[in-house]
Every structure is written in C-alpha cells, then in structure tokens.
C-alpha cells in the first residue's frame, strides 16, 4: 500500500513543472519551499529507525525472553539419580546426587514455529547457571511434615538442542521434625505401612540473558523392600563372644548379618544403644549397653553386616528378683528360653542423645524400640556325661507316707558355647527332674535343699560340675516302668534319661547369681547294676537267733544276720518286709529294720521272722513246706529260701512297695548257718564221740545196756521239746540199731547244751559185731530220725532229720 505523504509530494512536483519558468518576481520561491521538505524526510527516517529499534528491543528484551522462559518452564525436565548419603553430620547428612536436565519439546503448548524458535533461542543462549537453589522434602505420614532442607551451591549447565545434560552436585541436608521420622520408623517396624510417601519441592534461579525463578514440585513414593513386609528383615547372629572385663564387668561382641539392601551408599557412624529385656509387669528393664562399629553401606550389596559391641556393668535388682505369684525373674525366664533352644527376645533402643556426631540419629533412635530375637542354644542338653558315684538309698519310715531318698555324688560336663570366656564357679545346685526309661517317665527326682557343688574348666568349652546330693526324694509315678528299671539293674545296667529344671548358685564377674528353673536335659545316663543278676553264693551267717513269741499256729523269731551286699549301692533302710517262700508255699514273712548298707560290704541285719501258715491260705501245704525246710536246715543240708516283695513291703511307701511287688523276680538265697561262739571252723572229726553236726554235739552207744545218750545244742532262748523220736542208725548199708522213744525230751533254752538221758536202743547187729566195727572206740554211722518238735506253745512240727558220718562213741 502507497504512503499518503509520498502521493502528496508527487502532486506538488507535477504542479511546479507546469508553471512558467521565472517571472522575475518569483525566482526565490523554490529555495524557500525546499528546506522544510528535506527536514520532514529525515524525521521520517529517524522515526522509522526508532520504531524498528523499539520493535527489536521489544522482541529481544521482552517477547523472545518471555517466549524462551515459558518454553523452559514447560519443557524443562529434572531427573535425580545415584543419590548417595556421604556421611552423617550433627544436624543431618551430606549427600551427593547426579542431576540431569533436558528440554522435552513435546511438553510445550506453543505452536510449531514459536516452539522451534524458542528452542533455537535457548540453544543459542548456551550455558546457563542455576543459583539460589532450595530443596525441601516433605514426609506424608499422619499429615505432611517438612523433614529435609538443603541449599546446594550454584552450578552451570548447557541446555537446548535436545541436549541431555548431567552433573553431580553435593549438598548438606538438615533434618527437621524428627518426631515424624521416629513415627514412620515405628510404623515400618509394626508393618503398618508398605511404602513411604512424600513430596519434593525444588526452587532455583536460571541465569543467562534473562533470569527466572523455576520451581519443581514432585510427589515421591518408595515401596519398602519385601523383606520388610513382616516388620524387621531377616537376620542372623554369629561370632558371638563374651569375656570378663575388669572395667565393665562383662563385654561382648557379635556379627549381625541383615538380609536387606541399602537404598544408599552411606557411612553410618557409631551409635549407642540400650539393650532391654521384658520385666515382670510388661515394663522394659535396662540390662546392657552397646554400640556399633562405623558401618559402610553399599547400595549394591544384598546384605548388611554390622559388628555390635556391648557390655554389662551390673545386673539390676528388677532383673533378678522373682516376679509376683512365684513366677520366674526376668533374667531366669531369659536363660530358661535360651537353654531350652528357643529364641530369646531382647529390645534395642537408642541411648539418650548427647551433643556430637549424629545426635539427631541418636534422638530418632531413642524413640524407637526394636525387638531382636536371639537364637537359642544349639545343644539339646544342658549337661552330658553324667555319672553317679557313691550312691546311697534311704528307704522308708513306719508310720507316715514317705518317699525313698537318694544320696551320692553327681559328676556332669556342661558344654560352653564357643567364644564364651567367662569365669563361672558353681557353688550349689537344686534339681527337680523326671526320670525316664525307654521314653517313659517312671519317677520324679527332687533335691529340695542346695547341694554343695564345685566346678572347673577341663577345656575352654567344657565345664565340669561336681555336686553332692543328700537325701533327695524320689517319687515313683509308674510302677510298671520302675519294675522294668529294677529288672534291668538286676540283670546288668540301665540307661536313663533326665528331663527337668535346675537352680544354680554361681559366682561370676557380675557377682553371685542364682538363676532358677534352667532346663535340665540329659540322655543315656548309665546306672550301674548287678552286672549279671543276684549271685547265688552270697556269704551270710546268722549271728544270733531267739524266739520272740509263739502261739499254737505261729512262731516269731528274732535274728541278727550278717550278709554280703551284692549291689554297688549303699544306703539306709528303715524297714522292709518280704514273704518267705519255700517250694512255692508261703511259710511266713521276714522283716528287716534299720539296715545300713555299704557298697559291696557285709551288712548286719536285725530281722524278725514270722512263721504263720494260716495267714496266706493253704495252711496245710504251708505247714508241710515249713517242716520240710526246717528238717533240711537242721540236717545241715543246703536249703534255698525265696524272698518275695509284696504290696506293703516298704512301710509308708506304697508306690515303691507296689513296684517291688510287680517285679517278675524272686530272690532265692541259701539260709545262712548259725554261728556259735565255740565254732572253730574245723568240721573234721577230732575225737571219740564228736559229731560233724553243730546241733548234735556228741553221741555214745552203750552196747551191753542197749542204750544211747546224746548231747544236743539248742540255739534258741526258748525250750524245745521233742515229743516223739523214731531213729535208725546205719553202718554203710547195714542197720545198726533203732531208737523209738515216745517220752518228751526237753532242750533247755538257757543252757548252751543239753545231755539226754539214756535212750533204749534195739540193736540190729550182734554186740560183738558192733564192737568189732568200732575203731578206737568210735563207730561212724549215718542216722535218720523222724520226730515231732514243739517250740514254746507251737503245735509240734513233724521233722525228718539226717546226720551223716556221725562219730558215735561205743562203750561197754
């Protein structure tokens, strides 16, 4: 379109050309009109240039920067990667991160030409500088809390032209609102959250031709590792070491391996912690203090290895005192679980913060209590190689329900875990345990009083303990199993298991302790028995024998018997009663009282023998059996008497009695011979008229008067009456003579011997033959006698007596 000023100027020029050239009066007019026209043209050009300059300034100073600024704001993308927390400081941490910036043109809302122009302008701008950057982090947990603040140093970067720019920045982050961090940590431990949510707000100033303030607000979320789904990650504890420490009491260390990948590369300084245990009323009791060695975390490692150090200066009173209602003390409960092989739970809490490195971390941890399960003992038994020596039993009383008691020396070896180097001196033990045979419990063993004990290390991992048990009661709970145990002991040895608890008095570097209820498990404890059964040739002797009382049907005898103890055990038996059985018939009972046993030694037993065939049924058979037994005994022939326990064998101990009564065993022993004060031990015939029998002292035949006279010994303190006598004497196979006498012959109990009157003899041989067979006035004959004998008021017993090789004196 033509300019109006140019058109006017052209019209004026055309009119001037049509005028006459110079009337004289108008010659100066063109010069006067030319000067203003030239001035108008310069002004026009100046105005045009001014307008162009204004337009350029507007475009370069306002339009293009605004366009570039809007373009940068819309397309600038910020990425953060490889975040590393370099070190923990007193107020926070020093961190390093890779920052990446680039322009994403697809994010711009401008048209194509404007977008290309803006991108070109940014590229032409070259390197830009970012300064006054402020980074703020907000934690979204029970509200939004600002927990992080940082002001990184300024830095320069190149943008535009699709350039992807990456740089590394370092900065110090201050941590704020520590309560929210503690709350989040507790929620993670309680597995109430599965991811951490937050928001990052970054503000920075971009400098080049222009300066602009850029803000980025971005939501963040971090899903917790799957290993935290159930709270704490999995871990194991190894290289446990505990030792005495003169300054601290006990000190220890352990290596903790946590199966967790750290999200950052970071060096964690040493942090002090308190170790607590459960108290009686759900309160926590401080037991020890500890700290970790400085730890370098690697974000590429799958596990975290932490060395923990700790010490116990003293044991608080609350940890060792029993809980209400007779419950174990907190320390007892802890040790019971550990020794039983169960995990034991302790609690780790940050110590109270102090000024210094990582005080904020101490402050956060001091509000967090982390449960830690320590692995239990790997040993299935507290003690091994248990031995019993010098075992003695104390059995029974007469008038009250009592339990058998056991005394002896117990030796055991306690395995000490490797790495535990603590001086321990065992001073005493108490035991309450079940006795088990072939998997079945048969008795309960208890030592109610402290048994003196001592201990010594036989090697670094083995502590030998010796305890002296005194009168520890044993309660029989299963008679059948106990019967099997006794049978095994009589036939050889028995292997027993023990399962129970023990109280121990120990002296340690922390002082004197009395842990209670420690689990006690021991297997295959060998109990020595008779090693082949009861011997059949026990040495025994009757030192004295006396009549206590008689009735027409019964006879009570008191005896003192010396017998060898066939067992390896000693002890004391208040009373025991057994049935006397001969040829299957019960002929009476035997009661022993106040029996003191020495292992393998001779035992002096005060016994009461009660003969009464009417008490046990089959009176006639029982009476006949007693007569037969007594006949053999007085004939000094071998007689075995069987002793059988019954349901009341041990007075006051029905369980023990029932167990003994069910034993498929009867103790058969030879009846010991009477010991007389004038016994020389020489049974040989040493003169005329002497006898090999200790009851028949001497015999003398008067040939021509056809009589015989005997000297007899009555071992009892009661008179013995022979009411009938039918005797035969034989020389080899020849009958010598017969005595048939129906008058009573009384043997006085007060006199050591009794000499009978002359008894009539019917000779079966001529007197001359009898004299001829006699050598040096003595005739050796075998004699058999049937007689009836009465003791006191006892109904006379029929006896058959035999005496072999009787040296009968022969007189005229």
Residue 555: the pLDDT is 92
DSSP secondary structure, 657-689, as one string: HHHHHT-S--EEEEPPPB--TT--S--S--STT
Residue 776: the pLDDT is 56
Distances (CA, A) of 81 to 98, 195, 234, 262, 296: 5, 19, 28, 15, 20
Mean pLDDT check: name the lowest of 352-366, 492-506, 725-739: 352-366
Among residues 342, 340, 336, 360, which one has the least CA distance to residue 350? 360
Residue 4: the pLDDT is 44
Residue 620: the pLDDT is 92
What tokens appear for 55 in the block? Answer: 């337009």
What tokens appear for 501 in the block? Answer: 């608890």
The model's pLDDT over 418-448, given as tens digits with 9 standing for 90+, comes to 778 888 889 999 889 899 999 999 899 888 8
Q: How confident is the model at residue 744 (pLDDT cuts 50, 70, 90)?
A: very high
Q: How confident is the model at residue 3 (pLDDT cuts 50, 70, 90)?
A: very low
What percentage of the chain exceeds 90 in pLDDT? 10
Residue 623: the pLDDT is 94
Q: How confident is the model at residue 24 (pLDDT cuts 50, 70, 90)?
A: very low
Which one has a higher pLDDT value, 504 or 207? Answer: 504
Residue 191: the pLDDT is 63
pTM, to two decimals: 0.60
SS (H, E, C) 424-450: CEEEEEEEEEEEEECCEEEEEEECCCC
Q: How confident is the model at residue 121 (pLDDT cuts 50, 70, 90)?
A: low
Beta bridge partners of 662: none
Average pLDDT over residues 336-362: 75
Q: State the chain's mean pLDDT as an integer.
A: 76
> What are the sequence ranges of the domains in the chain?
63-223, 232-374, 394-402+428-525, 540-671, 696-810
23 pLDDT above the threshold of 60:
no
Average pLDDT over residues 350-366: 69
408 pLDDT above the threshold of 50:
yes
Average pLDDT over residues 776-787: 78
Distance between first and last Cα of the chain: 200
In eight-state DSSP terms, residue 340 is T
Residue 10: the pLDDT is 46
Q: How confident is the model at residue 611 (pLDDT cuts 50, 70, 90)?
A: very high
Beta bridge partners of 463: 414, 457
Q: How confident is the model at residue 536 (pLDDT cuts 50, 70, 90)?
A: low
Give the H/E segment covering residue 799. strand 797-811
What tokens appear for 675 in the block? Answer: 């010991």
Residue 626: the pLDDT is 93
Position of tokens 């072999």? 804
Going through 279-353 in order, the beta strands assigned E by DSSP cover: 284-292, 295-297, 304-312, 344-350
Residue 552: the pLDDT is 92
Among residues 221, 527, 247, 591, which one has the least CA distance to residue 398? 591
497 pLDDT above the threshold of 80:
yes
Which one has a higher pLDDT value, 19 or 448? Answer: 448
The model's pLDDT over 140-160, given as tens digits with 9 standing for 90+, comes to 767 777 766 777 776 676 665
The model's pLDDT over 631-656, given as tens digits with 9 standing for 90+, comes to 988 888 888 888 888 888 888 777 77
The model's pLDDT over 70-85, given as tens digits with 9 standing for 90+, comes to 767 777 776 666 767 7
Mean pLDDT check: name the lowest of 275-289, 345-359, 618-632: 345-359
Distances (CA, A) of 637 to 459, 557, 670, 679: 61, 21, 10, 18
Average pLDDT over residues 281-293: 86
One CATH from 3.40.50, 3.30.1450, 1.10.10, 2.60.40 for 696-810: 2.60.40
Among residues 542, 543, 546, which one has the least CA distance to residue 717? 546
Residue 225: the pLDDT is 64
Residue 29: the pLDDT is 47
Q: How confident is the model at residue 401 (pLDDT cuts 50, 70, 90)?
A: low
Residue 7: the pLDDT is 46
Which one has a higher pLDDT value, 109 or 639? Answer: 639
Which one has a higher pLDDT value, 733 or 162? Answer: 733
Which one has a higher pLDDT value, 348 or 217? Answer: 348
Query: Taking the CA of residue 531 as centre, how many other CA atoms within 13 Å lie in the half-sphere pointing to its CB?
Result: 7
Among residues 687, 703, 692, 695, which one has the least CA distance to residue 722? 695
Among residues 554, 709, 683, 668, which one has the least CA distance to residue 622? 554
One CATH from 2.130.10, 2.60.40, 3.90.1070, 2.30.30 for 232-374: 2.60.40
Q: How confident is the model at residue 126 (pLDDT cuts 50, 70, 90)?
A: low
Q: At the topology level of CATH, where does 63-223 sit?
A: Immunoglobulin-like (2.60.40)
What percentage of the chain exceeds 70 in pLDDT? 71
Class of the domain covering 540-671? mainly beta
The model's pLDDT over 541-556, given as tens digits with 9 standing for 90+, comes to 788 888 999 999 999 9
Residue 49: the pLDDT is 72
Residue 668: the pLDDT is 65
Average pLDDT over residues 315-319: 87
Give the H/E segment covering residue 491. helix 479-491
Topology match between the domains 540-671 and 696-810:
yes
């Amino acid at each position: 379109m033509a300019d109006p000023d140019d058109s006017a100027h052209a019209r004026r020029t055309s009119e001037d050309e049509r005028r006459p050239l110079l009337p004289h009066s108008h010659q100066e007019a063109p010069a006067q009109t030319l000067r203003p026209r030239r001035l108008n043209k310069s002004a026009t050009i100046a105005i045009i240039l001014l307008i162009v300059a204004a337009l350029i300034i507007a475009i370069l100073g306002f339009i293009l920067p605004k366009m570039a600024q809007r373009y940068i704001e819309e397309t600038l993308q910020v990425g953060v990667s490889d975040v590393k927390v370099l070190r923990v400081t007193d107020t926070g941490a020093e961190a390093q991160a890779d920052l990446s910036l680039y322009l994403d043109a697809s994010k711009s809302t401008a048209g194509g030409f404007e977008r290309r122009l803006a991108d070109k302008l940014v590229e032409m701008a070259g390197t830009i500088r970012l300064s006054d950057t402020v980074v703020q982090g907000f934690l979204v947990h029970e509200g939004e809390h600002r927990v992080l603040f940082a002001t990184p140093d300024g830095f320069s970067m190149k943008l535009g032209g699709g350039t992807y720019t990456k740089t590394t920045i370092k900065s110090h982050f201050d941590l704020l609102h520590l309560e929210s961090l503690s709350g989040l940590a507790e929620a993670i431990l309680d597995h109430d959250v599965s991811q951490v949510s937050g928001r990052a707000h970054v503000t920075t100033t971009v400098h080049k031709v222009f300066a602009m303030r850029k803000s980025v607000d971005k939501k963040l979320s971090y899903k917790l590792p799957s290993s935290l789904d159930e709270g704490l990650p999995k871990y194991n504890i190894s290289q446990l070491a505990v030792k005495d420490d003169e300054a601290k009491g006990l000190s220890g260390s352990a290596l903790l391996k946590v199966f967790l990948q750290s999200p950052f590369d970071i060096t964690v300084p040493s942090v002090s912690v308190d170790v607590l245990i459960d108290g009686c009323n759900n309160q926590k009791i401080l037991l020890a203090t500890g700290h970790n060695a400085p730890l370098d975390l690697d974000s590429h490692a799958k596990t975290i290895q932490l060395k923990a150090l700790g010490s116990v200066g003293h044991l608080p009173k609350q940890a060792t005192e029993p809980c209400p209602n007779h419950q174990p003390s907190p320390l007892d409960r802890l040790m019971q679980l550990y020794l039983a092989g169960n995990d034991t739970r302790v609690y780790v809490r940050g110590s109270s913060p102090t000024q210094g490195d990582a005080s904020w971390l101490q402050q956060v941890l001091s509000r967090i209590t982390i449960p830690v399960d320590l692995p239990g003992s790997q040993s299935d038994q507290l003690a091994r190689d248990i031995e019993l020596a010098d075992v003695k039993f104390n059995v029974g009383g007469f008038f009250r329900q009592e339990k058998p008691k056991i005394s002896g020396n117990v030796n055991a070896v306690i395995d000490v875990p490797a790495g535990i180097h603590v001086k321990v001196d065992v001073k005493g033990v108490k035991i309450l345990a079940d006795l088990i045979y072939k998997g079945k419990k048969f008795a309960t063993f208890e030592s109610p009083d402290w048994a003196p004990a001592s201990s010594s290390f036989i090697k670094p991992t083995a502590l030998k303990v010796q305890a002296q048990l005194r009168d520890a009661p044993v309660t029989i709970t299963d008679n059948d199993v106990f019967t099997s145990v006794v049978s095994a002991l009589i036939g050889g040895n028995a292997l027993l298991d023990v399962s129970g608890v023990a109280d121990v008095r120990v002296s340690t570097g922390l002082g004197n302790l009395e842990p209670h209820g420690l689990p006690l498990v021991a297997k295959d404890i060998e109990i020595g028995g008779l090693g082949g059964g009861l011997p059949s040739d026990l040495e025994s002797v009757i030192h004295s024998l006396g009549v206590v009382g008689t009735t027409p049907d019964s006879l009570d005898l008191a005896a003192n018997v010396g017998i060898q103890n066939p067992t390896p055990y000693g002890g004391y038996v208040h009373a025991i009663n057994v049935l006397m059985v001969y040829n299957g018939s019960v002929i009476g009972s035997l009661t022993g009282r106040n029996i003191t046993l020495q292992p393998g030694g001779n035992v002096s037993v005060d016994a009461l023998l009660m003969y009464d065939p009417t008490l046990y049924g089959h009176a006639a058979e029982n009476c006949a059996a007693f007569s037969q037994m007594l006949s053999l005994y007085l004939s000094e022939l071998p007689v075995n008497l069987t002793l059988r326990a019954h349901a009341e064998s041990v007075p006051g101990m029905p369980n023990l009695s029932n167990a003994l009564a069910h034993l498929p065993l009867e103790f058969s022993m030879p009846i010991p011979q009477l010991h007389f004060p004038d016994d020389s031990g020489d049974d040989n015939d040493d003169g005329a008229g002497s006898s090999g029998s200790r009851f028949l002292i001497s015999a003398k035949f008067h040939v021509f008067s056809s009589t015989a006279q005997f000297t007899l010994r009555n071992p009892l303190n009661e008179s013995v009456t022979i009411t009938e006598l039918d005797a035969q004497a034989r020389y080899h196979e020849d009958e010598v003579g017969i005595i048939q006498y129906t008058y009573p012959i009384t043997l006085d109990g007060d006199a050591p011997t009794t000499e009978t009157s002359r008894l009539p003899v019917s000779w079966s041989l001529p007197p001359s033959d009898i004299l001829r067979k006699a050598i040096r006035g003595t005739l050796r004959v075998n004699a058999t006698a049937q007689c009836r004998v009465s003791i006191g008021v006892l109904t006379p017993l029929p006896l058959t007596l035999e005496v072999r090789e009787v040296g009968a004196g022969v007189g005229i």
